[in-house]
Amino acid sequence: MPKPQTNSASGVAARRLAVQALTRIDNDGAYANLVLPQLLERSTLDQRDRGLVTELVYGTTRMQRACDFLVDRFVLDDVEPQVRAALRLGAYQLHFMQTPAHAAVAATVGAVKGRGRSVVNAVLRRVSVTDVQWPSDAVRLSYPDWIADTLRDTLGSEAAIAAMEAMNRPAEVHTRADGYIQDPASQLVVETVEARADDRLLDLCAAPGGKATALTSTGALVVASDLRANRARLIARNAASTRTAVAVVIADGRHPPFASKTFDRILVDAPCSGLGSLGRRADARWRIDADAPERLADLQVELVRSAYDLLVPGGTLVYSVCTLTEPETLGVLDRVADLGLVLLDPPAAPWVPVGASGTSATVVRLLPGDVGDGPHDGMALWRARKPA
Ligand SMILES: C[S@@+](CC[C@H](N)C(=O)[O-])C[C@H]1O[C@@H](n2cnc3c(N)ncnc32)[C@H](O)[C@@H]1O
């Protein structure tokens, strides 16, 4: 983490850029990972200040709900968007970056234009000297209630808190030998496919191609398919940069352009609510809606059904998601029970069975922070064979 700046001219300029980015994210619905690089590109800040702005914008966006709670104890009227952004930014530095109070307040006030300055100054001074009593873990850890509730109901209270804490730290990334940057948990999913040389292998939801490119190292013939053309282009680009041979197809996985019984192995790395990978994108938790798990489960069931048709008898299917919700994991498996899939033994540790016995023991998951040196995505998967 970059060292907090004092009230130097560059520290003020860094906060001014952060306020601009936060206002665009909150007011215009801009994506944090798109708007920030654009603003940084146009700025004259040095490398160190760019690092600071990045930490400020992603951190404040992630901790937005907690920051609002900290400042709203002292804000009496509605405030304009620029002032709201500065208040959150100041609270983030004071509470989560441990920036010395005088520096955090002065540099943040300096970044605000006009009459809003006095409000920011007065409120941040109060925040800096007042203890906090959090009303709930969801507010303290800055998640929408529905996500905190879903994780608690699915994982239990202690594990849900650990998962939410892990996803408040930037996710760890690993650079593969071929240069591709991939989450360690995604690499573990690739291993569970157990592909072999000359297998005809389909990755039905493949963009941006992280798993598909990794699967080529097994010698399998990999077809990587995705619904969206712009995302399929990313697969082609990543295959080229990793020098791997992947056949890229643009197709709706529910109506795939392949003959029945074509593939020995299929990976359905399905679109999902992403509740296991909230550490990866700072604004993701504020964009997903509470209906997403149920809505996406319908799509996931359709994708598994069409993958089943494409498998040769005796072929294997791996279903994986970077979420942990019941409807998108066990629920999908229950809803395709009529296919007569033969469930395979769950992969070994660090994967952990979701339940103690029966179907639930064949569904495994990794919680964010379970493996490796730092936070990584949470994932769930199950594996099955089409009867011969
Ligand atoms: C979890 S991501 C896949 C990540 C990829 N397997 C990797 O490791 O890089 C899910 C993908 O499913 C794609 N998708 C969504 N709906 C789809 C559909 N109906 N058919 C095929 N792909 C779909 C999305 O465009 C997205 O790229």
CA dihedral 325, 287, 47, 96 (to 10 degrees): -70
Q: How far is CA 67 from CA 17, 74, 85, in A?
A: 19, 12, 10
CATH number at residue 306: 3.40.50.150
Residue 152 lies in a domain: no
Rounded distance between C-alpha atoms, residue 156 and residue 312, angstroms: 39
Ranges of the chain whose pLDDT falls below 70 = 1-7, 171, 370-374
Q: Is 276 in the pocket of ligand 1 (CB under 6 A)?
A: no
Rounded distance between C-alpha atoms, residue 32 and residue 28, angstroms: 11
Structure tokens at 201: 């292998």
Residues 327 and 201 occupy one common structural domain = yes
Residue 27 lies in a domain: yes
Residues 180 and 128 occupy one common structural domain = no
Residues 309 and 370 occupy one common structural domain = yes
Residues 244 and 108 occupy one common structural domain = no
Cα-to-centroid distance, 304 and ligand 1 (Å): 13
Cα-to-centroid distance, 145 and ligand 1 (Å): 27
Specify the ligand 1 atom closest to the Cα of 253.
20
Q: Is 271 in the pocket of ligand 1 (CB under 6 A)?
A: yes
Strand 246-250 to strand 200-203: parallel, antiparallel, or no bridges (unpaired)? unpaired
Reference 165, options 196, 140, 184, 144; nearest CA is 140
- Of 227, 265, 321, 328, which is best to mutate to test ligand 1, by the most ligand atoms within 8 angstroms of its C-beta? 227
Specify the ligand 1 atom closest to the Cα of 322.
1
- Return all residues near 55 (Cβ < 8 A) that are at least 6 apart: 1, 2, 97
Q: How far is CA 265 from CA 58, 77, 136, 148, in A?
A: 38, 59, 45, 36
Residue 147 lies in a domain: no
User: Can you name the residues that pair with 366 across neighbouring β-strands?
Assistant: 379
- Return all residues near 203 (Cβ < 8 A) that are at least 6 apart: 211, 212, 215, 222, 223, 224, 225, 266, 267, 269
Structure tokens at 294: 């149920």
Specify the ligand 1 atom closest to the Cα of 186.
8
CA dihedral 270, 345, 264, 198 (to 10 degrees): 110
Q: Is 352 helix (H, G, I), strand (E, B) or coil?
A: strand
Residue 267 lies in a domain: yes
Rounded distance between C-alpha atoms, residue 4 and residue 236, angstroms: 40
Residues 216 and 345 occupy one common structural domain = yes
Residues 87 and 184 occupy one common structural domain = no
Q: Is 256 in the pocket of ligand 1 (CB under 6 A)?
A: no
Specify the ligand 1 atom closest to the Cα of 203.
6
Residues 119 and 208 occupy one common structural domain = no
pLDDT of residue 1: 45
pLDDT of residue 373: 65
Cα-to-centroid distance, 270 and ligand 1 (Å): 6
Residue 16 lies in a domain: yes
Cβ 268 vs Cβ 244: under 8 Å: no
Residues 183 and 116 occupy one common structural domain = no
pLDDT of residue 370: 66
Rounded distance between C-alpha atoms, residue 33 and residue 283, angstroms: 9
Residue 81 lies in a domain: yes
**Nearest alpha carbon, ligand 1 atom 1:** 271
**Whether 322 is catalytic:** yes
Q: Which domain holds residue 256?
A: 174-385
For the four alpha carbons of 320, 323, 328 and 330, in that order, the dihedral sign comes to: positive
Residues 87 and 193 occupy one common structural domain = no
Helix axes 81-96, 116-129, angle to 10 degrees: 20
Tens of pLDDT along 322-336?
999 999 999 999 999
Instruction: Among 133, 149, 183, identify where a domain stops.
Output: 133
Cα-to-centroid distance, 236 and ligand 1 (Å): 14
Into how many domains does the chain fold? 2
